[in-house]
Structure 1
Amino acid sequence: MNLTYNHHSNSNFKRRKKTIMICDNEPDVRLLFGLVLGSRYDVITVDSGEECIEKYIEETNRGNKISLILLDYKLEGMWGDSVARKIKECNETKIILNSAYNVDDVLIRELENGNYISKYIQKPFDTDRLTDLVAEIVMI
C-alpha cells in the first residue's frame, strides 16, 4: 500500500514543497515517517524496492523531482543497496539508507564513497534526528 501525504492548506500556495519518498516494507514505519515528515514535505510511500524504482521513474517522467529517498535496507525481493544503485543510474537523487539490522561497514563505505547513498542510519532512531537529517540532506 502506498500513500501520498500532501499537506497544502492553501490552494494559492506559491512555493511547492520538496518531495521525498519513503521505501519500507513495514506499514507502521511508513506511516510514522509520513506523519513526521508530511508537514514539511510532500511524501510518497512505497513498500518494496521494485515499487520504489517504478514510482521514482514514474514521478520523474511526470516532472516531479524526488529530492530524497528514505530507503530501508532489508526489503522483500530486493536489497536496499541494489535499489540505491538502480536509482543512481537514473539521477542524482539523495538517499538515506536505514536498517534495523547490522549492515556491513564495508558495504556502507562503498555506497557512500560511490555516492549511491548520502547517509546510513541504524534503526531505531529518534524522530527529531530523522527530521534534522532529512532537512540537512535536502538542503545540500
Structure 2
Amino acid sequence: MTTETETKEFPERTRDRPWILMLDDDDDLQLVLRKLLQKRYDTVSLPHGEEFFHAVSMVMPDLIILDVEMPGPNGYTLCRRLKSIDRFKRIPVLFLTGKRSDEDFLDHLETGGDAFLTKPFDQDELVFTVERLLEKY
C-alpha cells in the first residue's frame, strides 16, 4: 500500500525510444493517450501534480503532455516552474485543455508551453503534434 509520504517508483530508461510524461486527472484520457502513443514511445502517467517534479527528475522525459485544469497546481503553474529550471527548460510541453479562448492560448505561450490542443482533440493531430515536438527539440 502506498502512503502519501512514499515516493512513486518510475521505470528506468532502458530502451532507445522517446519518453513522454503525461499528467491528467482523467483516467480515461490517460488510457486513450497511452494507446495512441505506446507503439512508438514509452509513457509515464500521473493523475495530479504532486509528484510531477520528482517524475521529471527520475524519467527526464523527452516530452511532457500537461492538462491545464486539474486539482492542485494547474498545468500553467507546473510549466512555468519547469521552464524556470535550467535542467528542464528545454523539455517541450504540450498542453491539453477544454479551454478555447484567445486568452487561454496566450496563457500557454506566456508560461512556456510549446503546443496547445483543445479537448476533445483529433487523434491524428495529437500524434502529429507529438512527432513534431520531438523532432523540433
Fold-level match, TM-score > 0.5?
yes
Percent identity between the aligned chains? 23
Residue 106 of structure 1 is matched in structure 2 by 103
The question of 1:73 aligning with 2:68 is answered: yes
Cα distance in structure 1, aligned partners of 2:102 and 2:74: 15
Mean CA deviation greater in 83-92 or 16-25:
83-92
* 2:68 partner letter: Y
Runs of 4 or more above 3 Å deviation:
none
More strand by share: 1
- Aligned residue for 2:56, secondary structure, equals helix
Residue 89 of structure 1 is matched in structure 2 by 84
Residues 115 and 81 from structure 1, CA distance in 2 versus in 1: closer, same or farther, beyond 3 angstroms? closer
Question: Could you report, residue by residue, the CA deviation over 1:18-66 in whole angstroms, capped at 9, with x for unpaired residues?
Answer: 101110000111111011101111111111122222211222xxxxx31
Residue 12 of structure 1 is matched in structure 2 by none
List gaps (5 residues or longer) in structure 2: 1-7
Give the paired residue count.
Answer: 125
TM-score by length of 2: 0.79
- Aligned residue for 1:106, secondary structure, equals helix
Cα distance in structure 2, aligned partners of 1:21 and 1:107: 22
Mapping for residues 1-140 of structure 1, pairs under 5 Å = 16-59=16-59, 65-90=60-85, 91=88, 92-100=90-98, 102=99, 104-112=101-109, 114=110, 116-140=112-136
Cα distance in structure 2, aligned partners of 1:77 and 1:20: 21
Question: Could you report, residue by residue, the CA deviation over 1:88-119 in whole angstroms, capped at 9, with x for unpaired residues?
Answer: 1231110011112x25533532542x461001
TM-score by length of 1: 0.78
List gaps (5 residues or longer) in structure 1: 9-14, 60-64
CA RMSD of superposed structures (Å): 2.5
Question: Could you report, residue by residue, the CA deviation over 1:76-97 in whole angstroms, capped at 9, with x for unpaired residues?
Answer: 1111100111111231110011
